[in-house]
Each structure stands twice: as C-alpha cells, then as structure tokens.
Amino acid sequence: MEHHKLSLDQLQDSFSEIHPRYTPNEAIVEAERCLYCFDAPCIKACPTSIDIPTFIRQIANDNLTGAGTTILESNMMGHTCGRVCPVEELCVGACVLGREHRPIAIGRLQRYATDHIFENDIQPFDLVADTGKRVAIIGAGPAGLSTAGELAKRGIRATVFEKQELAGGLSTYGIVVLREPTNVALEEVGFVEKLGVTVRTGVEVGRDVLPEDLLREYDAVVLAAGTGRVPPLGVPGEELEGVVEALPMIAATKLADKDGTEALTRIRVGNEVIVVGAGNTAIDAATVAKRLGAERVTMLYRRGREEMSAYDHEVAFVRAEGVDIRLLTQPVEVLGEGGKVTGVRCVRMRLGDPDASGRRRPEPIPGSEFVLPADQVIKAIGQEKLVALYDAVGVEHASGYVRTDGELRTSNPKVFAAGDCVRATGQALTVTAAEDGKIAARAIARQLGVAEPVPARDDTRGRFLHATVNEFGRIHG
Ligand SMILES: Cc1cc2nc3c(=O)[nH]c(=O)nc-3n(C[C@H](O)[C@H](O)[C@H](O)COP(=O)(O)OP(=O)(O)OC[C@H]3O[C@@H](n4cnc5c(N)ncnc54)[C@H](O)[C@@H]3O)c2cc1C
Ligand code: SF4
C-alpha cells in the first residue's frame, strides 16, 4: 500500500475547493437574474427559512454586509451551509427559474456573502446584556454551535464542551475539503465565540466532566453530540492490515488542509480500494481515496439505488470521479495474506419482502459468491449511536436516537437535544442541525423566562435595500 503516486502539487490541486468563488461581477450578474418572487418557494425549501430573495437583492445592490447578515440571522451556520447544503434538493431545486431556465446558484451566492463577513471580521450581531442564565452544551458541531449562538443572541451564556481538540464537529473533521475547507469551519467557531460563547475543547462529557455536575451547575443542558464511530462490518478478516475506518481517513485530509498539504502525503491509500457503504461517509471516503491517488475505487452496497441515502447529484459526482458503485453486493469476508488485505469475498443480493423499516430486505443469492481484489478496505457503513452518553445524561432514547418533543425537549425537562443525535428520520444535514439549534434555543429561553432577541443591527442591513423593497415590492413569481 505504498504511495505517493501523486506529487504534492497534484495533491494540493486535488484537495482544493471544487467551485471557485464568484468574482464581484459574476455575483452581481447572477443575483440580478433573481425574480425576487413573492412567497418565494426557495425560502420555503430552506430548513432555516433564510430570506433568500432579500439577500440576493442585497448582493445585487453590492450590500454584502447586509446580505451576510440576512443569512446569518436565520442560520448561524450559513458559512458552512453555503458550501455543503444539498441545494439541488432544497432551495435551488425549488427555484422557479429551474422550470424553464437555469435556477439561481443560491449556494454560491450565499457563500459569496458570508465570505465577505468572515474575511472582514464583521460582527453583525450586537452583544446582548448577560441575563445570568447559563447553559451547558455537549458537542461543538453545527447543532451545539447554532444553539449556543442563538442563546447568545438572547443574553444566555453557553459553555460548549467538545471532546475533540478542535471544535466544529463534522464540518471540521468530516465533510470533505473539496466542499468545505477546514478553515471555513473554524472561522464559524470563532464567530460564535465572539458572541460570548465559551468553547472548551478536549473535554469529553462522561470522562472529563460528569453529566450530573452539568445538570446541577447549569440552568439547562443540551445534548448535541452527533453520532459515534463507524461500526464493525462483522465479517471475518476485519482485523487485517489495510482495513480502515472512513471517518479518521477523511479527518486526516481535513487536518492536512489546516496544517499544510504535505501531510496529505502521509495518508496511506491503496491502489485497489473497496469502500463498504453508500451514504455520505462512503461517498466522501471514496472521493478522498480517488483524489489521494487510488487506481480503482469500488463502493459496495447490499441494497439497490432506491435505498441509498446519497442524493442523485452525489452519486453522479462520485461516478464522475471514476468510482464504481456495485449495488446489491454484500462483503462476507475480507481476504488476506501475510496479515494484509488482498481482496473481499462478496455475495450478490436480491431484494425480498419489506422489513420493519418498510425497505425491502436484501437476501443473498445462493452460489453467487465472487472475489474482488483489494489492498485497502474502507468501512463506511453508518455511525454508532451514543447511547451510553444518553443514559449517563438520563434521557429516553429509541433505536439509538434521543427522544424529543417538537421543541427538542427530552424526557428530562432540564435537557434538550439537537442535531444528528435526534435525527431518527430524514436526512442528517448541517442545515437541519442549525435549525435544531434555533428551535432548542427558543424553547430554552422560554423555559428560563428570557425575552426573544432583537434583530441584527440596522446599520448592517443597508438603507438602499429597504428603499428598494418598499418602493417596488417584490416581483411576483
Ligand atoms: C463524511 C460526512 C460528510 C457529510 N457531508 C455533508 C454535506 O455535504 N452536507 C450536509 O449538509 N451534511 C453533511 N454531513 C452531515 C453533517 O455533517 C451532520 O449532519 C452535522 O455535522 C450534524 O451536526 P451535529 O452537531 O449534530 O453533530 P456533529 O457534527 O457530529 O458534532 C457533534 C460533536 O459532539 C462531540 N461530542 C460527542 N460526544 C461528546 C462528549 N461526550 N463530550 C464532548 N463532546 C462530544 C463530537 O466530537 C462532535 O464534535 C456529512 C457527514 C459526514 C459524516
Ligand atoms: S427566482 Fe424566485 S425562487 Fe429563484 S432564487 Fe429568486 S426568489 Fe428564489
């Protein structure tokens, strides 16, 4: 499993952000195509209800601070979301222009606006007087940071406990660099900290800090711990050298993006790589393997395309990268020689009757076994749930997810939960974690008797925008 087949320059190119940033002229031309629809479908399709036509209008008027403020007011994680949201399925997919023309590139415009805010260190929110209320948050991923930032807007001070060395959760350690450079995630952490949030990294709740202490010392506790490691495949040969977990491999590329790209040359990748799984993590792991220089990358999934959680555009992307996706294929054994991986024995599957989840159950086809050669196997079959932590905090859970009501209250009235750890149904996304943060913060504030926040500072919104909207209204779509 020796590399590096690629030079440092090639690696650097392979791991730079896919879409270049708009030039000012490109951004204005794109923004001016927007119809500023009344009752805009793009807003309805955004889980955080960003006022998209308004921020696009602000970009068209060269009011980038106003545009960034409009975004961040609705979505504290807007800097990340402009890059990683599956916009084809959300706002862009709903854009009326998509019916006959090219839809507006809302994600790229959003990124253009938030880049302006972060690069110029603009703080659109006034610091709010401290109410004296204190909230502990477990996990500094998008859900924890969004909750903390939204609480800060209400004068409620949050302390976020994060077990990793860096905050940002999967924005920092998971989402592939091509979509989100690591510094974008870290800038977002800094932005939330400047609102008065304390982030304590390298502190694991349950090990370094006890949940009962948090419950005693704080007015409320928020579980925003995401999910855990990739579970074992449960097949013989899993202990062989060359069988690796997807998330640490992706995380290594994220850290290399921060620490200097020569670290990419130290990440081991095979020539013939098999990725087991077909979700977000598997797609990103396959992309990373290919971009690190693997000759052949094959994803194995035991069900069919319809059951894959990956979106069409993700599948198209990974296929364009040259990754082969083998559906209805299950690994049954990792083969090796001299302690090292040499291949994977697979069996072909067919779909039988629906199981309890309503999905058709995959069944092996007798006598259909075959061997695929491999010198690296990447495990990417989902992530374990943090039930030990839920139990330690003392909240009810079902099928690995914390049980909550519509306001994200758990079975313990002092504990709320947000993000991937509550997402039993639907896609686990950064944007849904950000929206959870808003819902949880609103509910906590109400429970603690704290008033709702005032909108972002007026001077950042720009007078011209108000004049334009008042004078002409929005054009009906
Ligand atoms: C490889 C990959 C690619 C993805 N790509 C996309 C994408 O392109 N677009 C998109 O929208 N979404 C994507 N997602 C999903 C998205 O990253 C998650 O939905 C989002 O990060 C969830 O936020 P969260 O805060 O709930 O959890 P996380 O981001 O997982 O954050 C949870 C944090 O809690 C910390 N923690 C856990 N236990 C403890 C403890 N006991 N004490 C202290 N801290 C603790 C963890 O270290 C972590 O930092 C991707 C996910 C993966 C894995
Ligand atoms: S054209 Fe309409 S739907 Fe499309 S981005 Fe503009 S306001 Fe949204």
- Position 430 pLDDT exceeds 80: yes
* Residue 19: per-residue pLDDT: 78
What are the extents of the domains in the chain?
32-124+456-472, 134-228+385-448, 243-379
97 lines ligand 2 (CB under 6 A): yes
* Residue 335: per-residue pLDDT: 98
Report d(CA 441, CA 154) in Å as an integer: 9
CB-count burial class (<10 Å; 0-12, 13-18, 19+) for 337: exposed
Angle made by CA atoms 248, 250, 252, in degrees to the nearest 5: 70
Q: What is the pTM of this model?
A: 0.92
Which helix (H) or strand (E) covers residue 347, if one does?
Answer: strand 340-354
Atom of ligand 1 at shortest range from CA of 167: 49
Residue of 9 and 339 predicted with greater confidence = 339
- Here the tokens at position 356 are 């309890």
Please report, for residues 67, 92, 467, the alpha-carbon distance to residue 462 in angstroms, rounded to integers and kept in the order given.
Answer: 9, 26, 9
- Position 2 pLDDT exceeds 80: no
What is the CA(420)–ligand 1 centre distance, in A? 7
Residue 59 amino acid letter: I
109 lines ligand 2 (CB under 6 A): no
SS3 287: helix
- Position 414 pLDDT exceeds 90: yes
Ligand closest to Cα of 427 equals 1
Ligand closest to Cα of 282 equals 1
Sign of the CA dihedral 409, 410, 414, 420?
A: negative
Span 22-55, pLDDT tens digits? 999 999 999 999 999 999 999 999 999 999 999 9
Best probe residue, ligand 2, of 33, 37, 92 (max atoms within 8 Å of C-beta): 37
Nearest protein Cα to ligand 2, atom 6: 34
Strand order in the sheet with 415-417: 198-201, 157-162, 134-138, 220-223, 415-417
Nearest protein Cα to ligand 1, atom 38: 225
Best probe residue, ligand 2, of 34, 38, 70 (max atoms within 8 Å of C-beta): 34
Report d(CA 391, CA 243) in Å as an integer: 31
SS3 157: strand
- From the DSSP assignment, how many helices (H) and strands (E) are in the chain? 18, 16
Q: Among 1.10.1060.10, 3.20.20.70, 3.20.20.60, 1.10.520.10, what is the CATH number of 32-124+456-472?
A: 1.10.1060.10
- Here the tokens at position 163 are 């077990």
- Position 418 pLDDT exceeds 50: yes
Which CATH architecture fits 243-379? 3-Layer(bba) Sandwich (3.50)
**Alpha helices of 365-404 — where are they, by DSSP H?**
387-393
- Position 457 pLDDT exceeds 60: no
User: Taking a C-beta distance cutoff of 8 angstroms, is the pair 242, 341 a contact?
Assistant: yes
* Residue 477: per-residue pLDDT: 26
Q: Among 3.30.460.80, 3.50.50.60, 3.40.50.200, 3.20.20.150, what is the CATH number of 134-228+385-448?
A: 3.50.50.60
- Here the tokens at position 349 are 């599957």
- Here the tokens at position 401 are 């997810």
Best probe residue, ligand 1, of 170, 177, 189 (max atoms within 8 Å of C-beta): 170
Report d(CA 140, CA 162) in Å as an integer: 5
SS3 431: helix
Span 187-206, pLDDT tens digits? 999 999 999 999 999 999 99
147 lines ligand 1 (CB under 6 A): no
Mean pLDDT is lowest, of 200-209, 219-228, 251-260, for 251-260
- Position 472 pLDDT exceeds 70: no
Residues 6+ away with beta carbon under 8 Å from 149:
76, 191, 192, 195, 197, 437
Ligand closest to Cα of 317 equals 1
Best probe residue, ligand 1, of 179, 200, 280 (max atoms within 8 Å of C-beta): 280
Residues 6+ away with beta carbon under 8 Å from 119:
none
What is the CA(179)–ligand 2 centre distance, in A? 23
- Position 461 pLDDT exceeds 60: no
Atom of ligand 2 at shortest range from CA of 53: 7
What is the CA(37)–ligand 2 centre distance, in A? 6
The DSSP secondary-structure symbol of 411 reads S
- Position 464 pLDDT exceeds 50: no
- Position 15 pLDDT exceeds 60: yes
Region for 378 from its dihedrals, namely left if φ exceeds 0, alpha if ψ lies in -120 to 50, beta otherwise: beta
CA torsion, points 97, 100, 101, 104, in degrees to nearest 10? 20
Ligand closest to Cα of 148 equals 1
- Here the tokens at position 18 are 């896919």
141 lines ligand 1 (CB under 6 A): yes
Span 124-135, pLDDT tens digits? 998 889 999 999
Atom of ligand 1 at shortest range from CA of 420: 26
* Residue 324: per-residue pLDDT: 97
- Position 272 pLDDT exceeds 90: yes
Q: Do 134-228+385-448 and 243-379 fold alike per CATH?
A: yes
Nearest protein Cα to ligand 2, atom 4: 95
Nearest alpha carbon to residue 137 among 145, 127, 129: 145
